Amino acid sequence: MASDEPVVIVGAGLMGAAAARAIARRGRPVVVLEQFAAGHRNGSSHGSARIVRRAYGDAMYTSFTGRAFELWSAVPSPDPLLRMLGALDFGPDRDVASIAGHLSAAGVAHELMPASEAARRWPGMEFAGDVVLHAQAGTLDADAAVTALLADAVAHGAEARFESGARAARRRGVAAAADGDPAAGVPLPPSGPGGSAVAQRDSRARSRDVPPGGRSRRRP
Ligand SMILES: Cc1cc2nc3c(=O)[nH]c(=O)nc-3n(C[C@H](O)[C@H](O)[C@H](O)COP(=O)(O)OP(=O)(O)OC[C@H]3O[C@@H](n4cnc5c(N)ncnc54)[C@H](O)[C@@H]3O)c2cc1C
C-alpha cells in the first residue's frame, strides 16, 4: 500500500475522528466521510458526557484506560474534554474485590470500604456489600471531543466531508460518496451503529469540507 494513498474513514463519530487524527498525524492522507451534518445526534458520539473510568473486572481495560486518559489529555481543545469526578463501584453486579485487585495491580489509587462506611460518607445512597472508590473516573465531553479530534486531524492535512454518505466499502478501491465524488483509497468502515449499513446503503447526501476548527462549508 503506497503511503500517499488516502485512507478513507467512514463515519465522523468518536472512533472515526480519533482514527483520522492519528493517521493524519502520521503524515498519511485521510478523507473522512460523514453522512450527516457536523454535530448531528444520530450516532452514539453526541452530548456532553460519556463515563470514563479505570474500574473494570478485566486488567486489560484498567491498563488501556490509563493510556487513554493520557491520550485524551493530549488532544488540543479550547474546551476541557475530561471532567474527573471519581466513581463508586458496588452492588451485586460488580465484583468489587476483583476491581480493587486490578486497580492495585495497575497502581491506581482507590479505597475499599464496607457498605456501612460508604453509607456514612454518602448518606443519600444505599449500598450493598463492599464499595470501591477511585478518583480516576469522570466524564468525557463527546461533542467537544469529536470537534477537537477532527479539527486537529484537519490541521494535519485530513479532509472531512459532512453530509457525504459512503455507499460502498471495499478492501481496496473506492468508498463512494453518493454525489458521485468518490474518495478513492482504503476505506475504514464506521464502528458505530450505522457501520453495518456501509456496504448496502445508497445515501443521497452531498459533500462538504471542514476547515481547521471543525465548522463545515459547502464545497464549490
Ligand atoms: C446513550 C449512550 C450512552 C453511552 N454512554 C457511554 C458511556 O458512559 N461511556 C462510554 O465509554 N461509552 C458510552 N456509550 C458508547 C459510546 O458513546 C460509543 O461507543 C461511541 O460513541 C461510538 O463511537 P463510534 O464513532 O464508533 O460510533 P458513532 O458515534 O455512532 O459514529 C458512527 C458514524 O458513522 C456515520 N456513518 C454510518 N454509516 C455511514 C455511511 N455509510 N457513510 C458515512 N457515514 C456513516 C454515522 O452517521 C456516525 O456519525 C454510550 C452510547 C450511547 C448511545
> Is there an atom of ligand 1 within 6 Å of 199 CB?
no
Is the distance from the beta carbon of residue 190 to the nearest atom of ligand 1 less than 6 Å? yes
pTM reported for the whole predicted model = 0.83
Please state whether 180 falls in left (phi above 0), alpha (psi between -120 and 50) or beta: left
Q: Each residue of 144-174: b (16+ CB within 10 Å) or e? A: bbbbbbbbbbbebebbbbbbbbbbbbeeeeb
Over residues 1-49, the pLDDT tens digits come to: 456 788 999 999 999 999 999 999 999 999 999 999 999 999 999 999 9
* Whether the CB of 191 sits within 6 Å of ligand 1: yes
Instruction: State if residue 214 touches ligand 1 by the CB under 6 angstroms criterion.
Output: no
CB of 33 closer than 6 A to ligand 1? yes
Q: Check if the beta carbon of residue 110 is closer than 8 Å to that of residue 62.
A: no
In the chain, domain spans: 7-46+142-218, 50-140
pLDDT band at 212 (very low <50, low <70, confident <90, very high): very low
Atom of ligand 1 nearest to the CA of 15: 25
Q: Which residue's CA is minimally distant from atom 23 of ligand 1?
A: 14
- The CATH code of domain 7-46+142-218 reads 3.50.50.60
pLDDT of residue 167: 76
Q: How far is the CA of 45 from the centre of ligand 1 (A)?
A: 4
Residue nearest to atom 27 of ligand 1 (CA): 192
CB of 32 sitting under 6 A from ligand 1 = no
**What are the pLDDT digits (tens) for 133-160?**
999 999 999 999 999 999 999 999 999 9
Mean pLDDT for 88-111 is 97
| CATH architecture for the domain at 50-140 | 2-Layer Sandwich (3.30)
